[in-house]
């Protein structure tokens, strides 16, 4: 269980040496459990010409929407000819199938060897267009284009930005080997960005979506690294005496909060994301760890046992006085702010189980989200609707996700190995 990092870091065995990165891995398999109270019936028509692409965009869009549990996919099969433009739609064909929304479009090759993707989202009942866009992409960008179409559909029908065109990071352990992997949010296209026979823990995304901070034990001690994904370059940014752990990015991507033991027990420090000196924020005789910035960058959530048991606290980014936020139970750890800053998710131990809880900061209402045996390492999707976390199934680690009301759950598994330490990346810009 990744909890009070100042303690947990001491328990990792120091095993081997760093290995070279590896190419793509198989996609995670996603299983949907539960659904929304009402699922919006949506038809995704095959896009004309999409067979030219390595991935059929209509199938990826449908899979994205279906796995949210908020949409019911209406089978478009048997309708001929399949409409491409709004004027070609016979709305009776779709209302008779119960569809309330319809996606149509086309794929057209361009002179430079790329493809123009055009799509329209239609309200079947009102017979009006809700959205329409075109993208020019390479064949390799087909899935990304599909995720962006799904984001548009999600936002137009639910009023909330989608989070399909995002990435996740996690650690896979097979035998003595640890791999830090990045994949699309649907688990496709996993790439290993770091491989080692030493533990890799606490990966976290920079707001730009192109950098990761994480802790590696490759030098026989925990050191915080920052790695740029586009170039593969990385640097040790926190390598002080003792343990260096639990990095957290500031919202502007310029600073990191880290946990150091250089002055004794685990305390929270602030430093540049480029490395250099670190200034101490927390000042207690206890263990202070797992910092997490508020979206406005003004405060930090963190875990501390200063009250006799691990609990969640809040303090200003300039340090000073602290406020205790959790009082239910004797073990509450791993706080993460929601993207709107109005709530936070955390892990509570009760009756021998570790489960995710959500606290509304305005009312202090607490909502239980999961009911597994060991659920840990929560991370919000950038739209705040889903929370990614690590869990156990059949004796091995898997990733799972739960909606912020606890109603919709997903399990994400790989064919072999233990998967752990997930983090959901920010919204991506461009292709």
- DSSP state string for 214-242: EEE-TTSS-EEEEEETTT--EEEEE--SS
What average pLDDT does range 104-114 have in this prediction? 97
Determine the 3-state secondary structure of 103 from DSSP: strand
Q: Which residue has the tokens 């997930």?
A: 422
Question: Which residue segment(s) compose the domain that 130 sits in?
Answer: 38-158
Query: What pLDDT band is residue 9 in, cutting at 50, 70 and 90?
Result: very low
pLDDT tops 50 at residue 5:
no
Query: What pLDDT band is residue 147 in, cutting at 50, 70 and 90?
Result: very high
Mind giving me the DSSP string for 6-54? HHHGGG------EE-----BPPPEEEEE---SSPEEEEEPPPBTGGGSS
Which of the listed residues 104, 127, 158 is the one where a domain comes to its end? 158
Instruction: State pLDDT tens for residues 331-361.
Output: 999 999 999 999 999 999 999 999 999 999 9
Q: What is the distance between the alpha carbons of residues 271 and 244, in angstroms, rounded to a whole number?
A: 12
Residue 90's pLDDT is what?
97
User: Both 213 and 137 in a single domain?
Assistant: no
What average pLDDT does range 60-80 have in this prediction? 95
pLDDT tops 70 at residue 180:
yes
Determine, yes or no, domain membership for 419: yes
**CA 23, chain centre distance (Å):** 21
Q: What is the distance between the alpha carbons of residues 240 and 260, in angstroms, rounded to a whole number?
A: 7
Structure tokens at 420: 């752990």
| Cβ-contact 89, 107 below 8 angstroms | no
CB count, 10 Å around CB of 262?
A: 14
Instruction: State pLDDT tens for residues 20-58.
Output: 344 444 456 666 666 666 899 999 999 999 999 999 999
Q: What is the distance between the alpha carbons of residues 331 and 91, in angstroms, rounded to a whole number?
A: 56
Instruction: State pLDDT tens for residues 262-312.
Output: 999 999 999 999 999 999 999 999 999 999 999 999 999 999 999 999 999
pLDDT tops 50 at residue 424:
yes
Residue 430's pLDDT is what?
72
Determine, yes or no, domain membership for 25: no
Residue 11's pLDDT is what?
31
User: Both 136 and 183 in a single domain?
Assistant: no
Count the residues in the chain: 431
Which of the listed residues 134, 158, 182 is the one where a domain comes to its end? 158
Q: Which residue has the tokens 């709305």?
A: 91
Determine, yes or no, domain membership for 30: no
pLDDT tops 60 at residue 19:
no
Determine, yes or no, domain membership for 86: yes
- Element containing residue 60 per DSSP (H, E): helix 57-66
Query: What pLDDT band is residue 10 in, cutting at 50, 70 and 90?
Result: very low
pLDDT tops 50 at residue 4:
no
Query: What pLDDT band is residue 316 in, cutting at 50, 70 and 90?
Result: very high
Determine, yes or no, domain membership for 23: no
- Could you tell me what percent of the chain has a pLDDT over 70? 91
Residue 394's pLDDT is what?
85
Determine, yes or no, domain membership for 194: yes
CB count, 10 Å around CB of 187?
A: 20
Q: What is the distance between the alpha carbons of residues 216 and 199, in angstroms, rounded to a whole number?
A: 6
- Element containing residue 64 per DSSP (H, E): helix 57-66
| CATH code for the domain in which residue 44 is found | 3.40.50.10070
Instruction: State pLDDT tens for residues 204-229.
Output: 999 999 999 999 999 999 999 999 99
User: Both 186 and 82 in a single domain?
Assistant: no
Residue 39's pLDDT is what?
93
Environment class of residue 48 by beta-carbon count within 10 Å: exposed (0-12), middle (13-18) or buried (19+)?
A: middle
User: Both 145 and 182 in a single domain?
Assistant: no
Q: What is the distance between the alpha carbons of residues 169 and 251, in angstroms, rounded to a whole number?
A: 18
| Cβ-contact 422, 399 below 8 angstroms | yes
Instruction: Tell me what the pLDDT averaged over the chain comes to.
Output: 92
User: Both 190 and 312 in a single domain?
Assistant: yes
Instruction: State pLDDT tens for residues 355-392.
Output: 999 999 999 999 999 999 999 999 999 999 999 999 99
Q: What is the distance between the alpha carbons of residues 357 and 342, in angstroms, rounded to a whole number?
A: 14
User: Both 123 and 186 in a single domain?
Assistant: no
User: Both 130 and 178 in a single domain?
Assistant: no
User: Both 341 and 393 in a single domain?
Assistant: yes
User: Both 276 and 210 in a single domain?
Assistant: yes
User: Both 274 and 366 in a single domain?
Assistant: yes
Which of the listed residues 129, 158, 187 is the one where a domain comes to its end? 158
DSSP 139: G
User: Both 287 and 359 in a single domain?
Assistant: yes
| CATH code for the domain in which residue 353 is found | 2.120.10.30
Residue 428's pLDDT is what?
86
β-pair type (40-44, 71-74)? parallel
User: Both 254 and 274 in a single domain?
Assistant: yes
| Cβ-contact 379, 166 below 8 angstroms | no
Determine, yes or no, domain membership for 197: yes
Determine, yes or no, domain membership for 259: yes
User: How many domains is the chain built from?
Assistant: 2
For the CA atoms of 227, 233, 238, 242, what is the dihedral angle to 10 degrees?
Answer: 100
pLDDT tops 60 at residue 240:
yes
């Amino acid at each position: 269980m990744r909890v009070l990092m100042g303690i947990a870091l001491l328990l990792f065995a120091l095993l081997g040496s760093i290995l070279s990165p590896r190419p793509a891995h198989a996609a995670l398999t996603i299983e949907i459990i539960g659904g929304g109270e009402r699922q919006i019936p949506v038809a995704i028509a095959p896009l004309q010409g999409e067979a030219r692409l390595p991935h059929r965009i209509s199938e990826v869009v449908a899979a994205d929407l279906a796995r949210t549990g908020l949409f019911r996919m209406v089978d478009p099969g048997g309708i001929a000819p399949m409409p491409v433009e709004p004027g070609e739609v016979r709305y009776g064909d779709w209302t008779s199938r119960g569809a309330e929304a319809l996606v149509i479009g086309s794929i057209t090759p361009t002179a430079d060897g790329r493809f123009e993707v055009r799509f329209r989202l239609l309200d079947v009942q009102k017979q009006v267009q809700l959205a329409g866009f075109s993208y020019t992409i390479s064949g390799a960008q087909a899935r990304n284009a599909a995720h962006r179409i799904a984001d548009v559909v999600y936002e137009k029908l639910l009023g909330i930005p989608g989070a399909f065109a995002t990435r996740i990071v996690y650690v896979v352990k097979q035998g003595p080997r640890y791999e830090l992997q990045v994949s699309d949010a649907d688990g496709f296209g996993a790439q290993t960005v770091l491989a080692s026979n030493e533990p890799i823990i606490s990966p976290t995304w920079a707001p730009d979506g192109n950098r990761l901070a994480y802790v590696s034990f490759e030098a026989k001690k925990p050191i915080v690294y920052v790695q740029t994904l586009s170039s593969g370059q990385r640097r040790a940014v926190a390598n002080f005496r003792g343990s260096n752990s639990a990095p957290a990015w500031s919202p502007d991507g310029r600073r990191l909060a880290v946990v150091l033991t250089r002055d004794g027990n685990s305390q929270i420090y602030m430093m540049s994301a480029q490395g250099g000196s670190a200034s101490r924020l927390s000042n207690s005789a206890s263990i202070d760890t797992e910092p997490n910035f508020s979206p406005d960058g003004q405060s930090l959530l963190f875990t501390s046992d200063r009250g006799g048991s691990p609990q969640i606290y809040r303090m200003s980014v300039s340090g000073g006085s602290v406020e205790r936020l959790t009082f239910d139970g004797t073990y509450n750890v791993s706080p993460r702010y929601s993207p709107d800053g109005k709530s936070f998710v955390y892990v509570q131990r009760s009756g021998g189980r570790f489960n995710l809880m959500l606290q509304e900061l305005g009312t202090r209402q607490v909502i239980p989200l999961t009911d597994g045996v060991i659920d840990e390492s929560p991370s919000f999707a950038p739209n705040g609707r889903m929370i990614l976390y690590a869990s156990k199934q059949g004796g091995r680690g898997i990733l799972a996700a739960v909606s912020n009301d606890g109603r919709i759950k997903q399990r994400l598994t790989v064919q072999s190995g233990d998967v752990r330490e997930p983090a959901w990346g920010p919204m991506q810009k461009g292709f």
